[in-house]
């Protein structure tokens, strides 16, 4: 039996990954992290979606220690999310160490249930500039986890080389476009669906959606070509 663990926030990207995983694996588990993030609503959204989509199990893990250590606009209510980059060139919404911690814990969970894959929605094609969303980082984490646990499993990143328009196409490919559009929470200001329309996350999501809706046939063809190339 093929099992997978999906790192699941209830946002556009992780929901799209979850929908795909449910088609490709025999048993899918979702893991969501409560790290004292700006909007607790995303945990409720993740719980609702996991139930609706019928995952085998959904674990919500308290990792509040991350909130104590990592200062970010996503961990501090008194720091507004900014469109401007910090002196280090990163957005102030970057939470240092977040994906290191999340992937490590998801890997431990996968080890315990005998899953062969940990799936995450990180992407470096259309992304917020977070260093822990890059392919090199994921490969390094995968290698460290395999070495450290002596277990041959793979961190899969279905969205890594897709732009946001192609990510919408992927959701549509699995008949989940409306579900992802209406029921996920990507907005940094905590508004479900199309969001506030102004924060960096909403802007990226909106541009991708408008691009896809404006030329579905072309973008779906682009997605299929990329999928075909990956299969070779």
Can you tell me the mean pLDDT for 115-129? 88
12 is in an annotated binding site: yes
Quick check: 103 and 140 in contact, CB under 8 A? no
SS3 annotation, 178-210: HHHHHHCCCCCCCCCCCCCCCCHHHHHHHHHHH
Residue that wins the pLDDT comparison between 97 and 222: 222
123 annotated ligand binder: no
Q: What is the pLDDT of residues 141-189, one digit of tens each?
A: 999 999 999 999 999 999 999 999 999 999 999 999 999 999 999 998 8
Helix/strand/coil for 172: helix
Highest mean pLDDT (candidates 1-10, 37-46, 182-191)? 1-10
Q: Is 112 annotated to bind ligand? A: no
Q: Identify whether the C-beta of residue 204 lies closer than 8 Å to the C-beta of residue 164.
A: yes
Task: Tell me if 120 is assigned to a ligand binding site.
Answer: no
Concatenated DSSP letters of 206-227:
HHHHHHHHH-HHHHHHHHHHHH
Domains of the chain by residue range? 3-167
pLDDT tens for each residue of 60-89: 999 877 666 555 565 556 656 655 556 666
What pLDDT score does 40 carry? Answer: 82
Mean pLDDT to the nearest integer, 123-130: 79
- For domain 3-167, the CATH architecture is 3-Layer(aba) Sandwich (3.40)
According to the annotation, is 15 in a ligand binding site? yes
- Cα dihedral 197, 202, 204, 206 sign: negative
Strand stretches in 78-202, DSSP E: 117-119, 154-156
pTM, to two decimals: 0.91
Summary mean pLDDT of the chain: 89
11 carries a ligand binding annotation:
yes
Residue 187 annotated as lining a ligand binding site:
yes
The pLDDT of residue 184 is 98
The DSSP 8-state label assigned to residue 6 in this structure reads: E
- Does the annotation flag 202 for ligand binding? yes
């Amino acid at each position: 039996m093929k099992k997978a663990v999906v790192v699941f926030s209830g946002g556009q990207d992780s929901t799209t990954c979850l929908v795909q995983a449910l088609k490709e694996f025999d048993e899918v588990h979702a893991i969501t992290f409560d790290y004292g993030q700006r909007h607790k609503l995303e945990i409720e959204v993740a719980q609702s979606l996991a139930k609706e989509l019928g995952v085998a199990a959904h674990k919500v893990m308290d990792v509040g220690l991350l909130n104590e250590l990592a200062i970010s606009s996503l961990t501090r209510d008194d720091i507004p999310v900014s469109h401007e980059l910090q002196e280090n060139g990163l957005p102030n919404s970057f939470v240092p160490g977040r994906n290191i911690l999340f992937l490590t814990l998801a890997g431990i969970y996968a080890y315990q249930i005998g899953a062969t894959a940990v799936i995450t929605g990180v992407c470096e094609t259309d992304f917020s500039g977070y260093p822990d969303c890059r392919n090199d980082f994921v490969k390094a984490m995968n290698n460290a986890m395999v070495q450290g646990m002596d277990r041959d499993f793979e961190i899969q990143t279905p969205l890594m080389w897709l732009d946001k328009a192609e990510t919408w196409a992927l959701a549509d490919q699995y008949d989940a476009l409306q579900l992802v559009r209406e029921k996920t929470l990507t907005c940094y200001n905590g508004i479900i669906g199309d969001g506030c329309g102004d924060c960096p996350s909403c802007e990226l999501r909106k541009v991708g959606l408008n691009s896809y809706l404006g030329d579905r046939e072309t973008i779906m063809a682009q997605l299929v070509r990329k999928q075909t190339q990956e299969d070779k």
